[in-house]
Amino acid sequence: MTDVAQFRITLSANRESVTLEMVLNDEIKAYGILTDAEQVDKFIAIFGAVREQMNDKIPESLDPAPRLRVTHYPNWWLFDPTDKGQILALRHPQFGWLGFLFSQDKAKEIAEWLMKFYIPTK
């Protein structure tokens, strides 16, 4: 049986770069350094693009008892509606700004659902 390399990811002491190491039998065989947040973002984007192509797809819907990693009170931004729909951007602390395009009908459905919980202030 062939040994399988493990990967280690470490943040530098000054929190400005990330080191990626390929380790085999407790020996570093190769390493790379991502020198800034932009390089880390590009690395994450590559992993995301590959993940999207895998046979084991992310489910289209949530099961009845989902376990979600929740971002509390994210910053958000709405863009002016386009002919294709409404764009909502949400800021995720790990993955940056994520954009979502909703059809006008879906955006209206979401707005109506949220309004059910609106409590006017005095």
Alpha helix (H) residue ranges in the chain:
37-53, 104-115
Report residue 58 as tokens. 């992310």
> In this predicted structure, what is the pLDDT of residue 99?
95
Q: Which of 32, 40, 36 is nearest to 16 (CA)?
A: 36
Q: Record the pTM.
A: 0.75
How many contiguous H segments (helices) and E segments (strands) does the chain have? 2, 6
Per-residue pLDDT of the chain (122 residues; tens, 9 = 90+): 578 999 999 999 999 999 999 999 999 999 999 999 999 999 999 999 999 999 999 888 887 666 788 899 999 999 988 888 999 999 999 999 999 999 999 999 999 999 998 887 77
In this structure, are strands 6-11 and 18-24 parallel, antiparallel, or unpaired?
antiparallel
> In this predicted structure, what is the pLDDT of residue 3?
86
